[in-house]
Structure 1
Amino acid sequence: MSGRLKYPRQVLHGRSDETSVIDRLLADCRTGRSGCLLITGEPGMGKTALLEYAAAAGRLRVVRGTAIESEAHLPFAGLHLLLRPALDRTDALPAPQARALRGAFGLAPAEPGDRMLVGLAVLSLLAEFAAGGPLLCLVDDAQWLDRASAEALLFAARRLDAEGIALIIAARTGFDAPGLAPGHRRAAVPQPAYGRVPPLQGVPEARRHRAHRTRRSRTHGCRTVTPLSGVREA
């Protein structure tokens, strides 16, 4: 799905820190700076609601995909769902990348050693799509991405720079994103805009959204947010 779609603007109670991170990511995107955000949490904690908030708040072109558990064993199935709206621009890619991407999607013979080229092709294709204006790329249920899709998507995410792309990935706790959120190393910072919001333990539910602190994780330019446990959206 892509295009400038109209989403109802949501008010997410108890999510001010998470939405402020999203707002800054989108503001950067509008000025031509790219970035990514990894949202993790247990089922039902509001990850999809945060994606919907981004879609409504961004006023950007949107491409989005939701990984499907039953397709998790099919190489590049998740990537195909995400990139379908942009595939008509494949001819604009460097020839080796275009061949690799077509091979991944069964549009041409696949060649050994194409995995890196597929990752580069994802980055190039999104950049080409963003040439028409800032682009918001949303991926939900990333824990169900097939390995090949996850590797290619994260390869591209680590290399986002000045294409005007905002990439937001939502996944259950435990999603493996090498290079984007290594371990659980955190340090308190006075200005928490780009960081991980860990769930608080031992804090009454009604106070969690007021009492928590944001911390920064050492990442390759990717911000990480863990939705607060037990706080419901209205």
Structure 2
Amino acid sequence: MSDLGGARPVAGPGALVGREDECAALDRLLADVRGGGSRALVLRGAAGTGKSALLEHLVARSSGCRVVAAAAVRSEMELPFAAVHQLCAPLLDLLDVLPGPLRDALGTAFGMRAGPAPDPSLVGLAVRGLLAGAAAERPLVCAIDDAQWFDGASSRVLDFVARRPVGARVACVFAARDPADTVVPPGLPVLDVGGLPDGAARALAARAAPGPLDPEVRERILCEARGNPRVLLDLIRGTAAGGFIAATPARPPTDRAGDGPEDGVRHRLDGLPADGRT
């Protein structure tokens, strides 16, 4: 089972438009892990470029593997070990196989037993033990979204785990915004997820639109989205809602999309009454 916080492929059903190279890299990572290796990778890109969709691709392709997933939450950045707990919760049935000091450290970190704040290195070793125990049964895939919002303790633990292979058949894949708001595991292999090339952006627009787009409307949407899949889809939806699908010469009611999906949200807020905006 997996849960990436509701993430869905940016291109809808089927293959991700314009992400063939990134999907192939993740498929190779899975092949390595199924073959007995351990791999770590950071998917890095701006908001809305499809990192969560790539994690969903990874999970969907992980047949025969055990998958554990986590999505760091900005509001939990001050809660020690919050992200680690989310990742490890499905594996706590293996807690009893850990040596006593590691079991105690992890139990204390997760609030399962009383005690002083645990040594992060012991927590890191305990997490490695859990992952290794899970991977002994079948390959293990750890999919971690929004890593830029790790709490400090989780960042240190997951950095420790990702840098030191836990044994065979484990993959740890992180998705993080660039620039990141906080430290994500440094020094790991990075796959940059940029904007879509023009041809892929046009293909995504054609797939997403509920009907033919007026050429002028389509060109303006493509220009404003600048290859960002989420912005592109938001603009398509806004255009459809505003009645600009099919051969209408009018321009879609949008301002410049800016650098990310937040700008599209701001534009939609402008159409609300004052009380609604508040």
Counterpart contact for 2:131–2:170, Cα < 8 Å: yes
Q: Is the 8 A contact 1:158 1:179 kept in 2?
A: no
Q: Tell me, yes or no, if structure 1 residue 129 matches structure 2 residue 129.
A: no
Matched residue type, 2:49? M
- C-alpha change, 1:204 and 1:88, in structure 2 (3 Å) is closer
**Which one of the candidate residues 17, 20, 26 is aligned to 1:16?**
20
2:95–2:103 Cα contact (<8 Å) kept: yes
- Mapping of residues 215-230 of structure 1, within 5 Å: 230=227
- Distance change (3 Å), C-alpha of 1:58 and 1:168: same
Partner residue in 2 for 1:232: 229
Match of 2:223 in 1: none
1:69 equivalent among 62, 71, 74:
74
TM-score normalised to the size of structure 1?
0.75
1 CA distance for matches of 2:193 and 2:87? 28
Compared with structure 1, are the counterparts of its residues 125 and 204 closer, same or farther at alpha carbon in structure 2 (3 Å cutoff)?
closer
Does 1:33 find its partner at 2:40? Answer: no
| Greater helix share, structure number | 2
Counterpart for residue 206 of structure 1 = 199
Q: Residue 107 of structure 1 is aligned with which of 95, 107, 112?
A: 112
Equivalents in 2 of 1:42, 1:198: separation in Å?
8
Q: Highest CA radius of gyration, 1 or 2? A: 2
Inter-partner Cα distance in structure 1 for 2:166 and 2:84: 20
Q: What is the CA RMSD across the aligned residues, in angstroms?
A: 2.8
Supply the distance in 2 between the matched residues of 1:139 and 1:178 (Cα, whole angstroms): 12
Residues 80 and 207 of structure 1, relative CA distance in 2, 3 Å threshold = closer
Question: Secondary structure in 2 aligned to 1:58?
Answer: coil
CA separation in 1, counterparts of 2:227 and 2:124?
A: 37
User: What's the CA shift string for 1:57-111, capped at 9, x where partnerless?
Assistant: 1212111111111111110111111111101211111221111111101112344
Q: Per chain length, whose mean CA-contact separation is higher, i.e. which structure has more relative contact order (CA < 8 Å, sep 6+)?
A: 1
The residue that corresponds to 2:55 in the other structure is 51
With over 3 angstroms needed to count, the CA separation of the structure-2 counterparts of 1:207 and 1:108, relative to structure 1, is closer
Partner residue in 1 for 2:274? none
Q: Structure 2 length normalisation: TM-score?
A: 0.64
Tell me if structure 1 keeps the 8 A contact 2:69–2:143. yes
Structure 2 residue runs of 5 or longer lacking an equivalent are 202-225, 234-278
Deviation at 1:195, TM superposition (A): 5.8
Note if contact 2:44-2:190 (Cα within 8 Å) is conserved in structure 1. Answer: no
Paired residue for 2:149? 144
Number of aligned positions between the proteins: 197
| CA gap 1:70/1:76 in 2 versus in 1, 3 angstroms | same
What amino acid sits opposite 2:60 in the alignment? A
In structure 1, the residue corresponding to 2:40 is in which secondary structure? strand
Answer yes or no: is the 8 Å Cα contact 1:33–1:161 preserved in 2.
no
Q: Which has the higher strand share?
A: 1
Is the Cα contact below 8 Å between 2:150 and 2:184 reproduced in 1?
no
Q: Using the aligned pairs only, state the percent identity.
A: 44
Describe the SS at the equivalent of 1:109. Answer: coil
From the superposition, tell whether residues 17 and 74 of structure 1 become closer, same or farther in structure 2 (CA, over 3 Å): same
Counterpart residue identity of residue 163, structure 1: A
Sort the Cα spacing of 1:28 and 1:64 in 2 relative to 1 into closer, same or farther, 3 A. Answer: same
Shift, 1:206, TM fit:
2.9
CA contact (8 A) 1:10 1:56 kept: no
| Offset, 1:40 | 1.2
- Match of 1:139, SS? strand
Q: Structure 2 CA distance, aligned partners of 1:171 and 1:22?
A: 16
Equivalent residue number for residue 160 of structure 1: 165
Q: Residue 224 of structure 1 corresponds to which residue in structure 2?
A: none
